[in-house]
Amino acid sequence: MSRAIVIAGVASGTGKTTVATGLMAALRRRGTSVAPFKVGPDYIDPGYHALATGRPGRNLDPVLVGEHRVPALFAHGAAGAELAVVEGVMGLFDGRIGAAAGGYAGQPVDEVADGSTAHVARLLGAPVLLVVDTRGQSRSLAALLHGFATYRPGTRLAGVVLNQVGSPRHEEVLRAACAEVGLPVLGALPRRDELAVPSRHLGLVTAAEHGGAATAAVDAMAELVARHVDLDAVLAAAGGHPDTPAWEPAAEVGEPVGARPVVAIAGGSAFSFGYAEHPELLAAAGAHVVVFDPLRDERLPEGTAGLVLPGGFPEEHGAALAANASLRAEVAALAAAGAPVHAECGGLLYLGTELDGQPMCGVLPGVGRMTTQLRLGYRDAVAISPSALFDAGQRVTGHEFHRTEVTPRAGDPTGGAAPAWQWAQRDATGPEGYVRGQLHASYLHVHPAGQPGAVARFVAACARFAATPNDVPDDVPNDVPNDVPDDAPVGVPR
């Protein structure tokens, strides 16, 4: 059973990623096998975690996958590792807004997943190492730490890492403040600027795009943490997690199809927003999974019978995607032939006619463009139309994360397709997404581990297409059961 330590912050921007990623890499350099995790629906930090550890970065999000799956997914991702390092999200107690103010749909507060770092730490039974940006802090740090230590009795603080310390005297005062509330200091990082990783409209530049600079940044984080954090004390502070059987993809999707249809997943710098469990579930359902890069590969994988276009940053690579005209034509032909296509966010943009003036695949009539408005948060949605993934009326919880828009707006009847979703949020407006035959495209990111029935349904549709590629009906048979309960909680975005 792997031990675990959760790296949390008192707020966003305190240095969690630097400490967590540096700790992962520094321990790996010493010969400790480390399993990396990130709390919440983050696609960027896990890429840096993977560079630091040599293992897939994985997410733990009780809102998207359900509380009951979090310990099992942890056990799956931590298998064979000596230590698991879990990077938190925002501040320690920050989660889904509304979960602490009465719940959702009449549910009691303690039955609603807020998805905070403290929530995940409790589910894992793991101690928390709190990172504090100490600029402007002195003895009042004791009051801050006292509040964090006592706010939720079920949260166990193992110690503190002081970040952005100004001088030896500053560190001395801060350590005395920590001692007042009985919290050990496991590290003190000096102020510095050289570790800044380039960021843009949705956060840090992804590790896949940052290339050698990303590796250099991880190396710098490792050196900083190795110099200024007591690694032995961190290892000693790590705790065990509940002895839960590991998550098994095969048990989630049921009997695999026998045809082994080829399912192509877009990857590379433009389409990096995916979860590690997705290809595992696809393979368990019977698919032969092949990853391709729309920036480099001029053809789809041989025998492609289904296509997955995840999110990412196609808006940053519009010219290069447009220049790959042969691949765009193959994607359009595959969709026109009736193959199952699952596109999320960036994938939706790629299927449109153009993106910021650059031609895309032309599968859907939408025109994509950058805006100044950030759309971010959990979304509860109801499937309006039956598709290769979901039954009409099925309720899911997903995540929205983009600064782009598509016009005609996704779900608009003039868009030439049926709408995919109706948001359940009280501030929502109109339907969203496209369903056309076997194609499902929308801005909603759904965690596949939380919707394994949708993955099995998709692979079964791919197998049918592979068997009869020229005789695919417009309506999708609902012969693959989906296991999402009808009483899934409905909430509000954060």
| 198-205, Cβ contacts within 8 angstroms, sequence gap of 24 or more | 200/316, 201/370, 201/374, 201/403, 202/44, 202/313, 202/374, 202/401, 202/402, 202/403, 203/44, 204/17, 204/44, 204/45, 204/48
Rounded Cα distance, 143 and 484, in Å: 44
Rounded Cα distance, 221 and 131, in Å: 15
Helix (H, G, I), strand (E, B) or coil at 427: coil
DSSP-H helix ranges across 92-229: 117-124, 141-150, 168-180, 207-210, 212-228
Residues carrying an active site annotation: 345
329 exposed, middle or buried (CB, 10 Å; 0-12, 13-18, 19+)?
Answer: middle
383, β-bridge pairs: 421
Using CA atoms, how far residue 317 sits from 1, 202, 303, 309, in Å, is 42, 15, 27, 15
CB atoms < 10 A from the CB of 101, how many?
9
Contact predicate 35/55, CB 8 Å: yes
